[in-house]
Structure 1
Amino acid sequence: MSEKETIKDEPTASQEQELTENVKEQETNASPEADQSKEEKLQLEVEDLKDKYLRLYSEFENYRRRTSKERLDLIKTASEDLIKEILPILDDFERAFKASEKEDDAAKVREGHELVFHKLVKTLENKGVKVMENLIGNPFDADTQEAITQIPAPTEDMKGKVIDVVEKGYTLGEKVIRFAKVVTGS
């Protein structure tokens, strides 16, 4: 090879300068786009992570509130089974009082029974148990009462209303633990 051929293969100074300018131009043009796309990708990723975090946080808060409410409800009604078993004893006391009203010699025994009965009632009231009262004459409510039977109403205005209470109903807090058994008018 001759020197002229080697010189032709090698770029001239002006060609080198053009090449370096083109490379620099391409780098500067490509670099902001690449940087922007990287920044945009990172920004989108940050927004996505923030969204996931907020959703997870709100789900946790809802879970915490729900479990707290369930825990309070459980505490309020924890003794429900025991109270349900005690309610028939109250009924027996009331029946005993009605039976002993006719006997004069059992006045002292009746007084003792009444003391025990009232103490038991007070204890249950302190635990949140309430008797459903003033049912006679009011409209039948299927949410709190159970109709045992229907009898012809003594008056026209007593139709669909409670005529007699066979067994008292009880609530524990806002929850019905025993429905009142009633007789309704038809």
Structure 2
Amino acid sequence: MSKKDTKVEVELPEENTANETATEPTVELSVEEQLTADLAQEKDKFLRLFAEFENYKRRTTKERIELFSTASQDVIKALLPVVDDFDRALLEMSKSEATELSKGVELIKNKLSSTLEQKGLELVEVRSGDVFNADNHEAITQIPAPTEDMKGKIIDVIEKGYKLGDKVIRFPKVVIGN
């Protein structure tokens, strides 16, 4: 007997129908056909496993990038009150005559600000007279508008807002005209 003459019997599952009670005949496959079918099945398993592994690599890389950005976000958010304190200190020092002291504080503030900017921190630009948008600003209070054209617009900026990359990490706190 040669390899081509050897037959392998495979039974197919029966379909239960009300009209047919007889079982279907078994299909005989040659060894080559059986090996070809097994190879196709193993190749399919391999491709699925490979695709699953690629998805896993992509997902873990994305999670790692998000983890690094989130870690820096927490540190930068914690430093924002320090930047605000520097701004308030410089404002009060400008009222006094201690120019050398204010220059030193301004240098330290500039160094901190430039370091944060290198890490991706950006100031959200808001000025008095801009139109209030609830998606981009946080309204602290409403006061009567000094003029009719200031109704629904920003009167004063209480606290600056900041973005880290594309994400706003602190919305600017504003006073709007009523």
TM-score normalised according to structure 2 size: 0.70
2:168 is the counterpart of 1:184: no
2:75 is the counterpart of 1:82: yes
Distance 1:55 1:169, change over 3 A: same
Q: What pairs up with 1:107-146 in 2 under 5 angstroms?
A: 107-146=99-138
Distance 1:43 1:126, change over 3 A: same
Distance 2:134 2:59 in 1: 29
Aligned to 1:62: 55
Unaligned runs of 5+ in 1: 1-27
Distance 2:51 2:67 in 1: 24
2:20 is the counterpart of 1:50: no
2:34 is the counterpart of 1:34: no
8 A contact 2:126–2:172 mirrored in 1: no
Match for 2:90: what amino acid? F
Unaligned runs of 5+ in 2: 10-26
8 A contact 2:139–2:176 mirrored in 1: yes
Q: What displacement does 1:121 show?
A: 0.8
Higher helix proportion, which one?
1
Distance 1:185 1:52, change over 3 A: farther
Higher strand proportion, which one?
2
Equivalent residue pairs, number: 156
